[in-house]
A and B are shown apart, each in its own frame.
Chain A
C-alpha cells in the first residue's frame, strides 16, 4: 500500500527565508503525488500535483516541488516565505490504477516569523 512520510510536525521559518517541506513516499507502482494546503478553519486546497510529466512541478502561490524517483521524494519549496504562507501542508499519494484513494502524510504546520 502506498504511504507518505512528512517529518517535523511544526516548521518555523523567517519571513523572506526559504520554505522547505519534506515528503517521502512509498508506492509499489509509479505514484501520483500531491501537496495540499489548509488555512485555519478552512478546507484543503490543491497546491500542486505530479502526474509524470515534468519532474519539477510549479504550483500556486510561488510553491514548487520536485519529484525524485531515486530518493522517493517530493519535497515542497518556496524561495521566500510570506506571512500568508502560515498554514498546514499535507503531502498525499495515490497509485496509478487504483481508485483515487489518497494516503496523506501527517502534515506540517508552518509558522512564519516576522
Chain B
C-alpha cells in the first residue's frame, strides 16, 4: 500500500535554483493538494487540484507552480528558489467531498534554500 509518495525527502537548493517536488498517489483520488509547514504556523495550503487538468491557488501560492496532467501525479515546481521557501512540504490526496473523507498525507519533503 504505497498511498501518497513524495520525492525527494530531503533537498538543499541554492537561491535562484529551480526544482520539482514529486507527488504520486495510487488510490485514484481526484483531489490532491500541497501544503507547507513552518514552525508555529501549522500547515498552509499552497495549491490544490480537484481533478486532472484543474488546479487552483491556496493560501500561499506565490513562488510555486503546479500542473495535473494525470490523476496520479501532482508535482510542485519552485521556479526560482528563495530562502523563504525553506520549509517542510506535504502532499495530500482524498476523494471528492463526502462525509468527512479522510485526507491522506505523504511523509513530507524537507527543503532548505541557502
Contact = CB atoms under 8 A, between A and B. Distances in A.
Interface of A: 6, 9, 32, 34, 36, 41-46, 49-52, 90, 92, 96-102, 104-107
Contact of A9 (B40, B50, B99, B107): B40
A37 B110 CA distance: 18
Interface residues of B, number: 26
B41 A106 contact: yes
Interface of B: 31, 33, 35, 40-45, 48, 50, 58, 90, 92, 94, 96-97, 99-103, 105-108
A70 B39 CA distance: 31
**Could you tell me the dominant secondary structure of chain A's interface residues?**
loop
A43 to B, nearest CB: 4
A49 B42 contact: no
Contact of A105 (B42, B90, B102): B42
A106 B40 contact: yes
A45 B103 CA distance: 10
A58 to B, nearest CB: 15
A32 B45 CA distance: 17
